[in-house]
Amino acid sequence: MSLSHRHRTDPQSAPVVRRRQDGYVMTVFGLMLVPLLLMAGLAVDVGYWYNRASDIQKAADAASLAGVVWLPDMVKAASVAKDVAARNGFDDAAANIVVSVTRSAKSPRRLKVLITDTTVGSFFYKNLGGRNIGLSRTSFAEFVTPVPMGSPRNYFGTGPLLTGNQELLYQSVNPYCTSKVNGDRHQSGHYDPLNADGSTLSSCPAAPSNTDHRTGGYELYIDAKAGRPSAIQVRLYDPRYNESPVEPTPPAGSPSVAADEPCRYVTRWQSFATDLGSVQVVAGPIYYWNGSAYVYLPDGQSVSARYVVRQETVWLCVGPDSKRRSGNEDYTFSLYSPDNTPLDDSDNPLKCSKTFSRDTAFDGYTYLGSRRWNTLCDISTSDATGRYILRVKNAGTTANTADGSNQWGVVAKYAGSTGNGTCDGRTDTLCPRVYGKDAISVFANTAASTASFFLAEIGPEHAGKKLKLELWDPGEGGSTIQIMKPKGTNSFTPVDFTWKVGTGTPATTNTLDVTNSVFNGKLVEITVDLTGYAPPADNEWWQIRYTFTSGTVTDRTTWSARIIGDPVHLTEEN
Ligand SMILES: [Ca+2]
Ligand SMILES: [Ca+2]
Ligand SMILES: [Ca+2]
Ligand SMILES: [Ca+2]
């Protein structure tokens, strides 16, 4: 036992075994060396290929992000994308590099960049007889443009002018000194909640105290399409701020006012004697409605303590403006051309501009049954194609008496068109659409007790995201407001939404209760979940629906819409 034990531990016999084992290891190692080397080499190669693919992906991402903002200008988008790819090491001009830039078939605002390196080398694979491999990476970038608002057509703010297709709202910009409580979120200089009852303004600071004030005013876009058949005339309806009627002057004291101007309901101050026994007539025009005499305060007249003053709705056949006090305000309308920096609207070249004072004359032509028109300028067929910016703002006059609202509208019509030249961008690809950019300031007004207005265009590419709506000062005197999504060519259905005011608790509903003017001077923030959203192919426009039990929808308000998320971002496409 000991021998065998000793034998087994015989120092002379051990090397034999060891040699035998060493030989075995050497043999196995020798046998495995090639695959080991191959595997090690492959690991190095795979690592290299991985890094190379990562570099290609990064370059494709950078290229798609840089190019997408130029859509729909595909030539420019491709040029910028390829330039950025080249600067990241993937030059389309190189023999082994292909940079393909195309517009996504699924969204006009999505750019696809495909970068291929056809001859990615290797350290081992090639030496073992392998060939250079090709590596490709794709990137999709999306550019979320501001949500078009207010109108799918080539006009916006024509009130009741278009018989049979009435918008029933005007665009509106209040004088700078009109308190924000009266509905203008971005052009009122200050916010004095007391002013809603007609009290004298307590202040109107030169530097705006309204934190939502926008120095640049409101912005709209006008689409000038490639291949347009003639010049686009940009016509402004009643751009000046002046309530006085155009001829014929409504006959004072007449119960039925005749005028060729559109008649409308207006909210204005009504003065009664303190005992309410008889009507106190203040010097100035008198209009009749429903058998009672109503007056408005003429220039220079201030509200007297002798009167009980309250707001009433009356029917007038004068221009659309509402002037509660004597002050005047100039308004400037400016048109800017498309340029090379599509993400920045502040640097576009000025095409034309006009400032309208109280008595600026209308141009004198009759259009849509009215003579209250001024043509801003034409966009000729040789002018730049793309999105023109129309900017409107008040002059910022700091007279406390400038209190009211300047209603206006715009039509962008082809000079060569027949009839009234109106068109609908949903069915007419060459239609020079006019629409608000991110915020519209409007005066909704109809004799009906229920009315729907075009709110915003939400394309199917926004499915799964969230739509954020903001309604400033909505619905005084009304009952309910609903947000309607498109269901068919011309049909809509209310959506559920979450809403809140300030730091209030969010609530979910499909019908916002606005009774008792609960949102006077307040901002209602609404969020709509677009999960599963799939609009009909021919209608991506949402509406806002008002119901007033009193029988007359009237609201001076500012609406905003945007899609939550980064305006330019990478995305996926299946
Ligand atoms: Ca209000
Ligand atoms: Ca620009
Ligand atoms: Ca006006
Ligand atoms: Ca309002």
pLDDT in tens, 116-155: 999 887 777 666 666 778 999 999 999 887 899 999 999 9
Q: Quick one: 303 exposed, middle or buried, by C-beta within 10 A (0-12, 13-18, 19+)?
A: middle
- Cα(348) to centroid of ligand 2, in Å? 5
pLDDT digits (tens, 9 = 90+) for 60-95: 999 999 999 888 789 999 999 999 999 999 999 999
Average pLDDT, the chain: 83
Average pLDDT of the segment spanning 275-293: 37
CA 332 to chain centre: 21
User: Is the confidence at residue 98, as pLDDT, over 60?
Assistant: yes
- Cα(212) to centroid of ligand 1, in Å? 16
Mean pLDDT lowest among 136-140, 263-267, 342-346, 536-540: 263-267
Distance CA(265)–CA(160), nearest Å, equals 11
- Cα(219) to centroid of ligand 3, in Å? 17
Question: 452 pLDDT band (50/70/90 cuts)?
Answer: very high
pLDDT at residue number 494 = 98
Average pLDDT of the segment spanning 387-398: 96
Average pLDDT of the segment spanning 462-477: 94
CB atoms within 10 A of CB 430: 15
User: Is the confidence at residue 549, as pLDDT, over 60?
Assistant: yes
Contact 103, 73 (CB under 8 A): no
Question: 279 pLDDT band (50/70/90 cuts)?
Answer: very low
**Considering every ligand atom, which ligand is closest to the CA of 373?**
3
**Considering every ligand atom, which ligand is closest to the CA of 240?**
3
Assigned token pair, 417: 């068109």
- Cα(516) to centroid of ligand 1, in Å? 12
pLDDT at residue number 43 = 82
pLDDT digits (tens, 9 = 90+) for 501-547: 999 999 999 999 999 999 999 999 999 999 999 999 999 999 999 99
Distance CA(397)–CA(56), nearest Å, equals 56
- Cα(468) to centroid of ligand 2, in Å? 25
- Cα(282) to centroid of ligand 3, in Å? 24
- Cα(408) to centroid of ligand 3, in Å? 5
Average pLDDT of the segment spanning 208-214: 94
pLDDT at residue number 257 = 37
Q: Which residue has the higher pLDDT, 307 or 389?
A: 389
pLDDT at residue number 501 = 97
- Cα(389) to centroid of ligand 2, in Å? 10
pLDDT at residue number 37 = 72
Amino acid 329 reads: E
- Cα(439) to centroid of ligand 3, in Å? 19
- Cα(321) to centroid of ligand 3, in Å? 5
User: Is the confidence at residue 158, as pLDDT, over 90?
Assistant: yes
Assigned token pair, 338: 């498309």
Region of 551 (left: φ > 0; alpha: ψ -120 to 50; beta: rest) is left
pLDDT at residue number 2 = 39
Question: 314 pLDDT band (50/70/90 cuts)?
Answer: low
pLDDT at residue number 324 = 77
pLDDT at residue number 405 = 95
- 3 state DSSP class of 151: coil
Most confident of 17-26, 195-204, 367-376: 367-376
CB atoms within 10 A of CB 135: 18
pTM: 0.76
Q: Which residues, other chains included, contact 198 with Cβ-Cβ below 8 Å and sequence gap of 6+?
A: 269, 303, 309, 310, 311, 324
Amino acid 189 reads: G
- Cα(221) to centroid of ligand 4, in Å? 24
- Cα(312) to centroid of ligand 3, in Å? 21
